[in-house]
């Protein structure tokens, strides 16, 4: 038996792909390893979105090279593979920078891994695969069947045709592609048979989903959600990440109709200034975005909003940045991610001569994050005293404690809940922190009260 260690960086689509690779390699004799030291093969599933993310890969490869050399001295061979978006973006360059790497494989070619491993095992060369093959990787990869707990990711869409001027994703993941509905439903049913209660549908532009429906016509994400709502055993649905331009009327209506569609929406806007939004090629204005949020909240008044922001895009003035702060104040986010603009090789914005100095980016990021953190704390504090349904997922740090998620995706922990892992239980929220909530099980509070009476 051989051992496989996969280290995953970046977005949830990489998390999903890593699980697929593990399932693909199990039949050829690779069992999971806990660390790189005990592994015969290591895969780094990488992210290229910002410079820091990409550079991390090379420092990790340096460490792995030492392990590989030590193993070679003991007479064992370790195969080192780089997968994911750095593999796609940098290809051969990775092997030039770190010759200890045996395999470089882009996100659309994982089905080729067994063949690449076989070739490496026979010889000493390198294997490189960064084409966008005509065959669909989902047809060739094993379905996601063994979830680790009551929640699972399910990739339904991949790639991006939007070409925001700062972003590498259209180059690393290729054109927008949606999986057929039949394949998605089969995978969802399999997951729910193995006790999954909550599914998060994944896509770089998940709401641009237009996969082949059961009737042969393209189906929207809304139509897919209604079909998934009937899968036996499934209680909760989420989807991520959405683009404002693809937020169709039927999807908004689905939030009104489907109780099991959770009231949390990640809808990145990136900036609040129309000048910057245009330079980013986002295809919408700040007012368009705000109108959209009004419509969403009309359909689902308790919708918790989340987003992504970039500060210091080339040419961003103080006034532009103030517009971002103003937009954030108008929306009121439950949670959000914010980043300093990072110039990415080959993207149009990287070539602009109006780059913003690092210290200005730092200062803006601090101000934006202070505002977003305050909003997140307010959102959490407003939960105190309320009863929410929590799907418990994992044991907590303390004996008997368990951690789960509220409908609004907040982590909630409760004492004495460990027996409820995998179930949805009512919890009364007693305390709010910035990143989590503490609550008590409602039935437990009731029986304690009965005892006291
Ligand atoms: N498809 C999603 C986001 C994918 S990338 C969408 O369109 O919203 C995740 C986030 O990383 C982006 O929303 C953006 O905020 C950030 N990001 C992407 N490229 C970046 C760059 N060059 N510098 C800084 N942040 C970036
Ligand atoms: Fe990147 Fe824009 Fe596509 Fe999102 S929509 S993945 S930010 S290019
Ligand atoms: Fe990173 Fe690629 Fe995801 S660049 S964010 S791993 S799509």
| Residue 333 clears pLDDT 80, i.e. is over it | yes
pLDDT in tens, 352-388: 999 999 999 999 999 999 999 999 999 999 999 999 9
Measured at the CA of 211, the angle between CA 207 and CA 215, to 5 degrees, comes to 125
- Cα–Cα distance for residue pair 401/25, rounded to 1 Å: 35
For residue 427, report the distance from its CA to the centre of ligand 1, in Å: 35
For residue 273, report the distance from its CA to the centre of ligand 1, in Å: 17
For residue 49, report the distance from its CA to the centre of ligand 3, in Å: 6
Q: Is the CB of 159 under 6 A from ligand 3?
A: no
Residues 6+ apart with CB under 8 A from 54: 46, 47, 48, 86, 89, 90
| Residue 301 clears pLDDT 80, i.e. is over it | yes
User: pTM of the prediction?
Assistant: 0.95
Q: Which ligand is nearest to the CA of 45?
A: 3
Q: Is the CB of 280 under 6 A from ligand 3?
A: no
Q: Is the CB of 107 under 6 A from ligand 3?
A: no
pLDDT in tens, 54-110: 999 999 999 999 999 999 999 999 999 999 999 999 999 999 999 999 999 999 999
Which residue owns the Cα nearest ligand 3 atom 3?
A: 11
pLDDT in tens, 415-437: 999 999 999 999 999 999 989 99
Residue 302 carries which DSSP code?
T
Classify 292 as helix, strand or coil. helix
State the average pLDDT over residues 5-26.
96
Residues within the annotated binding site for [4Fe-4S] cluster? 11, 47, 85, 160, 164, 167
- Cα–Cα distance for residue pair 343/381, rounded to 1 Å: 37
Q: What is the pLDDT of residue 176?
A: 95
Of 223, 142, 217, give the one whose Cα is nearest residue 186: 142
Q: Which residue has the higher pLDDT, 452 or 272?
A: 272
List, in order of start, the domains of the chain with CATH numbers. 2-131 (3.40.50.12160), 143-262 (3.30.750.210), 287-382 (3.30.750.200), 387-452 (2.40.50.140)
Classify 68 as helix, strand or coil. helix
For residue 85, report the distance from its CA to the centre of ligand 1, in Å: 13
240 to each of 36, 156, 266, how far by Cα in Å?
31, 10, 6
Confidence of residue 145 (pLDDT cuts 50, 70, 90): low
For residue 169, report the distance from its CA to the centre of ligand 1, in Å: 8
Q: Is the CB of 204 under 6 A from ligand 2?
A: yes
pLDDT in tens, 200-252: 999 999 999 999 999 999 999 999 999 999 999 999 999 999 999 999 999 99
Of 310, 311, 344, give the one whose Cα is nearest residue 54: 344
Q: What percent of the chain has pLDDT over 70?
A: 98
| Residue 24 clears pLDDT 70, i.e. is over it | yes
Q: Is the CB of 166 under 6 A from ligand 1?
A: yes
State the average pLDDT over residues 299-314.
98
Contact 299, 256 (CB under 8 A): yes
């Amino acid at each position: 038996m051989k051992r496989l260690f996969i280290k995953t960086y970046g977005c949830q689509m990489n998390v999903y792909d890593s699980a697929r690779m593990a399932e693909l390699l199990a039949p050829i004799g690779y069992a999971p390893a806990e660390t790189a030291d005990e592994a015969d093969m290591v895969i780094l599933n990488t992210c290229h979105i910002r410079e820091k993310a990409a550079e991390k890969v090379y420092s990790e490869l340096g460490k792995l090279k030492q392990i590989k050399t030590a193993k070679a001295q003991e007479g064992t061979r370790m195969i080192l593979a780089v997968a994911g978006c750095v593999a796609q973006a940098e290809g051969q360059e990775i092997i030039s920078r770190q010759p200890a790497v045996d395999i470089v494989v882009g996100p659309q070619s994982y089905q080729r891994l067994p063949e690449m491993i076989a070739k490496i095992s026979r010889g000493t060369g390198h294997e490189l695969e960064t084409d966008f093959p005509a065959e669909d990787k989902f047809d060739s990869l094993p379905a996601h069947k063994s979830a680790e707990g009551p929640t699972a990711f399910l990739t339904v869409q991949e790639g991006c045709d939007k070409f925001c001027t700062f972003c590498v994703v259209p180059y690393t993941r290729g054109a927008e592609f949606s999986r057929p509905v039949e394949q998605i439903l089969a995978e969802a049913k399999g997951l729910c048979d193995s006790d999954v209660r909550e599914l998060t549908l994944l896509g770089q532009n998940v709401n641009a989903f237009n996969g082949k429906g059961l009737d042969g016509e393209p189906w929207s994400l809304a139509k897919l959600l209604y079909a998934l709502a009937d899968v036996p055993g499934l209680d909760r649905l989420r989807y991520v990440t959405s683009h404002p331009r693809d937020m169709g009327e039927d999807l908004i209506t689905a939030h009104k109709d489907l109780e099991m569609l959770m009231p949390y929406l990640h809808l990145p806007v990136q900036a609040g200034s129309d000048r910057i939004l245009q330079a980013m090629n986002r295809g919408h204005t700040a007012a368009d975005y705000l109108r959209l949020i009004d419509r969403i909240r009309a359909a689902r008044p308790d919708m918790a909003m989340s987003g992504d922001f970039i500060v210091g895009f080339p040419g961003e003035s103080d006034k532009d940045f103030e517009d971002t702060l103003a937009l954030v104040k108008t929306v009121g986010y439950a949670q959000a991610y914010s980043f300093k603009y990072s110039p990415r090789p080959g993207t149009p914005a990287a070539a602009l001569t109006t780059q913003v100095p690092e210290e200005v980016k730092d200062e803006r990021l601090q101000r934006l994050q202070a505002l977003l953190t305050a909003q997140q704390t307010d959102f959490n504090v407003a939960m105190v005293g309320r009863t929410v349904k929590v799907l418990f997922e994992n044991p907590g740090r303390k004996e008997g404690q368990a951690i789960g998620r509220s409908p609004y995706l907040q982590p909630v922990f409760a004492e004495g809940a460990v027996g409820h892992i995998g179930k949805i239980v009512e919890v009364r929220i007693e305390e709010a922190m910035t990143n989590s909530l503490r609550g008590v099980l409602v039935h437990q509070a009731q029986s304690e009260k009965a005892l006291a009476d």
